[in-house]
C-alpha cells in the first residue's frame, strides 16, 4: 500500500481545530544529561490527554456521513480518541478493551458517551470482540495503529516538531503497534532523510520488536507494565504499520520497568509534567545511555491518562503494583 508525506499533509488539514497543535518545549535537565538540546512534544496536553486523538479524528472524519457508527479495540487512549471524534460527528462508538486497561482510562471513555465493552485479559481478545461487532452490527472498525488514516494523523506530530526545530537530528518515539512511529518516521524522513527515528518500548511483551527481529508479525505474551499503553500485539495480519516501521525506523530500544519508573520521576520532578509510563520511554532511553543523541533530540510525551493513586505512589518512592507486577519504589535523587 502506498503511504507518503502527502497523506500526512492531508491529515493535518482534516484534524485542524479538533486535535490541538501542542507545545514543543526544551527540558533543561534532559538537555544536560544528553549533552544536546532535548525537547519534549507535549501530546499529554491534547483534549483527551493523548496523541491518539490525531489519528482517531482523521479516521472518523474521513468516514461517509451515513456510517452507522464506529468500533475499535484499545489499550485506552485510542478508544478515548475515537469516542471523542465520534461524539464530534454525532456517531455511535463502541470501545472494546481488556481487563488490563486501567480504570481511569475506562472512566474517561464512558464520560464521552461511548459504549464500553470489557472482554478478556489481552488486547487480542478485545480485538476479536471489535471484529465481531463489525460483522454483527455493521460498525466500522478503526484499528489503533494499522490504518492509513490513523498513521497519517499521528504523523502530523513530526510536521510540528520539525516545523519548530528543523535541526532535529534524532526523534525518540514510544512504540507499541507502531502507528505513531510509522507516521512520525515517514513524515520526518520525507522532510530530512538524515534524521534518526528510534522506537522505544518496554522489554516485556514488545510485539513490534519481536516481529522486526523475526522479519514478520509474531505474537508475544502480554504483561502488566507501567507503560500499559504500550501493551498488545501488532496483529498477525498487519498490513501497514509493520512494513513502515521495518523500512523507516533506524532502531528499536527496550527499557525496563525500573527505568520507566525513574524516567517518570525525572519528568515530574525536573520538568513538572504528569505523564503515563508509555510517555517517558524516550527519556528512559537517554537516561540509561541506551541512546546517545548526536545532535538536537526530541521525544513525544504521548499521554497523561494514568491512575493518579499509582502515580502518587511512584512519586513518593513507594512500591507500585499493577496486576501481577510489582515495581520496587525508589525515592527520587536517592
Ligand atoms: C498508543 C500509545 C503509544 C504507542 O503508539 P503506537 O501507535 O501503538 O505504537 C504510546 N504512548 C501512548 C500514551 C499511547 O496511548
Helix 179-191 to helix 5-15 angle, to the nearest 10 degrees? 110
Separation CA 53–CA 329 (nearest Å): 32
Residues shown for the chain: 334
Pairing of strands 170-174, 251-255: unpaired
- pTM for the model stands at 0.96
C-alpha of residue 185 to centroid of ligand 1, in Å: 14
User: 143, 265, 281: which is closest to 225 by C-alpha?
Assistant: 281
CATH topology of domain 5-47+148-327: Rossmann fold (3.40.50)
Q: Is the dihedral of CA 26, 320, 255, 118 positive or negative?
A: negative
CATH fold for domain 52-141: Rossmann fold (3.40.50)
Q: CA-to-CA distance for 67 and 74, rounded, in angstroms?
A: 20
**pLDDT by residue, tens only, the chain of 334 residues:** 689 999 999 999 999 999 999 999 999 999 999 999 999 999 999 999 999 999 999 999 999 988 999 999 998 899 999 999 999 999 999 999 999 888 888 999 999 999 999 999 888 889 899 989 888 989 999 999 999 999 999 999 999 999 999 999 999 999 999 999 999 999 999 999 999 999 999 999 999 999 999 999 999 998 999 999 998 899 999 999 999 999 999 999 999 999 999 999 999 999 999 999 999 999 999 999 999 999 999 999 999 999 999 999 999 999 999 989 999 999 998 7
Distance 176 CA to ligand 1 centre (A): 6
Q: How far apart are CA 304 and CA 77, in angstroms?
A: 10
Whether the CB-CB separation of 15 and 57 falls below 8 Å is answered with yes
Beta strand 170-174 pairing with 196-202: parallel
Give how far Cα 223 sits from Cα of 25, 206, 220, 226, 323, Å. 32, 10, 9, 10, 9
Give the span between the Cα atoms of 189 and 29, in whole angstroms.
Answer: 28
229 CB near ligand 1 (under 6 Å): yes
**Local structure of residue 333 (DSSP, 8 states):** T
Ligand 1 atom closest to residue 232's alpha carbon, by position in its atom list: 8
Angle between helices 77-89 and 52-61 (to 10 degrees): 40
Q: Using CA positions, which residue lies closest to atom 7 of ligand 1? A: 179
Q: How far apart are the CA of 313 and the centre of ligand 1, in A?
A: 23
279 lines ligand 1 (CB under 6 A): yes
Q: Which of 3, 18, 15 is nearest to 244 (CA)?
A: 3
**Pairing state between β 320-322 and 325-327:** antiparallel
Asked whether 50 lines ligand 1 (CB < 6 A), one says: yes
- Is there an atom of ligand 1 within 6 Å of 179 CB? yes
* CA–CA gap between residue 108 and residue 16 (Å, rounded): 23
Q: Give the start-to-end residue ranges of the domains of the chain.
A: 5-47+148-327, 52-141
DSSP 75: S
CA distance 291 to 22: 25
For residues 297 and 286, is the Cβ–Cβ distance under 8 A? yes
Amino acid at each position: 500500500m502506498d503511504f507518503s508525506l502527502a497523506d500526512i499533509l492531508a491529515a493535518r488539514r482534516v484534524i485542524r481545530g479538533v486535535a490541538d497543535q501542542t507545545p514543543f518545549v526544551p527540558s533543561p535537565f534532559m538537555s544536560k544529561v544528553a549533552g544536546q538540546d532535548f525537547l519534549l512534544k507535549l501530546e499529554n496536553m491534547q483534549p483527551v490527554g493523548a496523541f491518539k486523538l490525531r489519528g482517531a479524528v482523521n479516521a472518523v472524519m474521513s468516514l461517509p456521513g451515513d456510517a452507522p457508527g464506529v468500533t475499535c479495540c484499545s489499550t485506552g487512549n485510542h478508544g478515548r480518541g475515537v469516542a471523542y471524534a465520534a461524539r464530534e460527528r454525532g456517531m455511535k462508538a463502541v470501545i472494546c478493551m481488556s481487563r488490563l486497561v486501567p480504570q481511569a482510562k475506562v472512566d474517561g471513555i464512558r464520560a464521552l458517551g461511548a459504549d464500553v465493552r470489557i472482554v478478556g485479559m489481552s488486547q487480542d481478545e478485545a480485538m476479536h470482540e471489535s471484529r465481531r461487532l463489525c460483522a454483527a452490527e455493521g460498525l466500522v472498525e478503526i484499528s489503533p495503529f494499522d490504518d492509513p488514516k490513523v498513521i497519517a494523523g499521528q504523523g502530523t506530530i513530526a510536521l510540528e516538531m520539525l516545523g519548530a526545530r528543523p535541526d532535529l537530528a534524532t526523534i525518540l518515539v514510544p512504540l507499541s503497534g507502531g502507528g505513531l512511529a510509522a507516521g512520525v518516521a515517514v513524515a520526518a524522513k520525507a522532510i530530512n532523510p538524515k534524521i534518526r527515528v528510534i522506537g522505544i518500548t518496554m522489554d516485556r511483551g514488545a510485539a513490534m520488536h519481536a516481529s522486526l527481529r523475526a522479519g514478520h508479525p509474531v505474537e508475544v505474551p502480554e504483561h502488566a507494565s507501567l507503560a500499559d499503553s504500550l501493551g498488545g500485539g501488532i496483529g498477525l495480519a498487519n498490513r501497514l504499520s509493520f512494513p513502515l516501521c521495518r523500512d523507516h525506523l533506524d532502531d528499536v530500544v527496550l527499557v525496563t520497568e525500573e527505568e520507566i519508573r525513574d524516567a517518570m520521576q525525572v519528568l515530574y520532578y525536573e520538568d513538572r509534567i504528569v505523564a503515563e509510563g508509555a510517555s517517558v520511554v524516550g527519556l528512559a532511553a537517554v537516561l540509561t545511555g541506551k541512546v546517545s543523541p548526536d545532535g538536537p533530540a526530541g521525544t513525544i510525551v504521548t499521554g497523561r491518562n494514568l491512575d493518579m493513586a499509582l502515580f502518587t505512589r511512584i512519586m513518593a518512592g513507594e512500591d507500585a503494583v499493577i496486576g501481577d507486577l510489582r515495581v520496587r519504589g525508589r525515592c527520587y535523587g536517592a
